[in-house]
Structure 1
């Protein structure tokens, strides 16, 4: 998504030029290109798919909507299998229209994961609950902290359900370091993502993730914390940013590689 302006073949070429060997996929461009075709393209290029994004949106009250959401999540698991990744990131869902019940919404997320986790585990895919910044709680994700994500994840085996740690969403939380230790002790850090926090936020908020080094987050510090907890997997950069998307995608990817090296590589 950092360079969503690039089609998948262009992305593959740009990664080859810059020596990028891993890529996190999003469902919409993969589906538009064709899941099987995308998997073959990435595999033939020698690219490893780190995670597939996104499943989730499990907070609906209407039984038919809940069934539809579960069916869609199962399709997302199947897509992850085809793409060759063992992690499906979950953005859990916001409050249903007219509801004020945050606790009830979180409980429905757990209920949905209880159905999905065995289905995913049978196919070798682990679910990763991603907490999103509280500003997204109403419409996108009622799981706002690592503590809340772990409270749900811990109901399930660690090899079935973990957490996605994204600096953009947790950097502000003074309890996050302790929760990272909690996650690490259980082996629940499924994936780690970087984005910076810049202000002012854009209208609509969603597409305001800053390029690495442009904002307030000590990215190297957070990488160190995650790795202290035993995480040795790939590190993703996920930037939703209209300004970056308006630029040449190859230029943005090259800049992102340089910024990662400058701001996130441990010295």
Structure 2
């Protein structure tokens, strides 16, 4: 039986299996939408990954990831631009719906977050013509403020949409509930994103209380405190009808369980909690 409306970000079972194995497990559960990471694709080769995608009729709700634009030196910024152009080409070859951007934090030794944010906008502007030519939308993913220093200095949906406003077509947002659930202006910004037709992806998991690790202790849907159904209603009211993409980093729980159990649980919780 197919599972409509559900995508699996392959980070959810990255500890247990490679790209090919993960696809097989998803297909056995009737899941035909996935979102791989670039290292998972590279491990089997871009050509082979693209063949698997095409031969199985898979939808790629995103490719993870581009970004990390800020750097202390011009050479570092240029290196990031080159890597993002490669990521765009990979997303195009795979037929991904978007390239997800984790934009990067402060350059080493810097305390100037505004300068880092300018580097982000400038970096996206530099690679945007390449993305437009390749037909690959760029999805800015705002990350929770706890990641502002090292992973993403764009921390609210409003900030991400301001960049989209400034840069125009070809740039949108990936809304990950783990990063934005706390935002008091979230409903207004989701509605704004809808008016801009900027919602490119919707990522789901849950926020555990307590959270044992900032990066690798995300919860399975229903195990935490995020109002997943409310956020889904807001996103769908804003016009997004794409799959919800489960993305769970869980070093001490879900990454230690059999991949088949994890995916089965994703399906059950998607149906009951989302």
Residue 233 of structure 1 corresponds to 242
User: In structure 2, how many angstroms separate the alpha carbons of the residues matched to 1:131 and 1:15?
Assistant: 27
User: In structure 1, how many angstroms separate the alpha carbons of the residues matched to 2:53 and 2:18?
Assistant: 12
User: In structure 2, how many angstroms separate the alpha carbons of the residues matched to 1:84 and 1:226?
Assistant: 24
Instruction: Report the TM-score, using the length of structure 2 for normalisation.
Output: 0.93
Q: How far does residue 199 in structure 1 lie from its aligned partner after superposition? A: 2.2
| Per-residue deviation, residues 179-206 of structure 1 (Å, max 9, x unmatched) | 1111111111111111100022224x11
Does residue 138 of the first structure (1) align with residue 149 of the second (2)? yes
Equivalent in 188, 198, 204 of residue 188 of structure 1: 198
Residue 101 of structure 1 corresponds to 112
8 Å Cα contact 1:86/1:124 also seen in 2: no
Give every structure 1 segment of 4 or more consecutive aligned residues whose post-TM-superposition deviation is greater than 3 Å: none
Of residues 206-215 and 149-158 in structure 1, the stretch that sits farther from structure 2 once superposed is 149-158
- Give the total of aligned pairs: 262
User: In structure 2, how many angstroms separate the alpha carbons of the residues matched to 1:201 and 1:218?
Assistant: 17
Aligned ranges 1:15-34 → 2 under 5 Å = 15-34=26-45
| Per-residue deviation, residues 220-244 of structure 1 (Å, max 9, x unmatched) | 1110000000111221110011111
Does residue 211 of the first structure (1) align with residue 220 of the second (2)? yes
Q: How far does residue 249 in structure 1 lie from its aligned partner after superposition? A: 0.7
User: In structure 2, how many angstroms separate the alpha carbons of the residues matched to 1:69 and 1:112?
Assistant: 8
Residue 211 of structure 2 corresponds to 201
Instruction: Report the TM-score, using the length of structure 1 for normalisation.
Output: 0.96
User: In structure 1, how many angstroms separate the alpha carbons of the residues matched to 2:139 and 2:61?
Assistant: 12
User: In structure 2, how many angstroms separate the alpha carbons of the residues matched to 1:173 and 1:208?
Assistant: 20
For the residue of structure 1 that corresponds to 2:120, the secondary structure is helix
| Per-residue deviation, residues 196-220 of structure 1 (Å, max 9, x unmatched) | 00022224x1112110000000111
| Per-residue deviation, residues 75-109 of structure 1 (Å, max 9, x unmatched) | 00000011111300000001111111111100110
Does residue 263 of the first structure (1) align with residue 259 of the second (2)? no
Name structure 1 gaps, 5 residues minimum.
Answer: none
Q: How far does residue 45 in structure 1 lie from its aligned partner after superposition? A: 1.9
Residue 64 of structure 1 corresponds to 75
For the residue of structure 2 that corresponds to 1:89, the secondary structure is strand
User: In structure 2, how many angstroms separate the alpha carbons of the residues matched to 1:9 and 1:149?
Assistant: 33
| Per-residue deviation, residues 49-95 of structure 1 (Å, max 9, x unmatched) | 11101000001121111110000000000000111113000000011
What CA RMSD, in Å, does the superposition of the two structures yield over aligned residues? Answer: 1.0
Q: How far does residue 153 in structure 1 lie from its aligned partner after superposition? A: 1.4
8 Å Cα contact 1:12/1:45 also seen in 2: no
Of residues 218-227 and 40-49 in structure 1, the stretch that sits farther from structure 2 once superposed is 40-49
Q: How far does residue 6 in structure 1 lie from its aligned partner after superposition? A: 1.7
Residue 252 of structure 1 corresponds to 262
Residue 89 of structure 2 corresponds to 78
Residue 51 of structure 2 corresponds to 40
User: In structure 2, how many angstroms separate the alpha carbons of the residues matched to 1:152 and 1:104?
Assistant: 14
User: In structure 1, how many angstroms separate the alpha carbons of the residues matched to 2:28 and 2:181?
Assistant: 32
Does residue 168 of the first structure (1) align with residue 202 of the second (2)? no
Name structure 2 gaps, 5 residues minimum.
Answer: 1-10
8 Å Cα contact 1:196/1:209 also seen in 2: yes
User: In structure 2, how many angstroms separate the alpha carbons of the residues matched to 1:221 and 1:134?
Assistant: 22
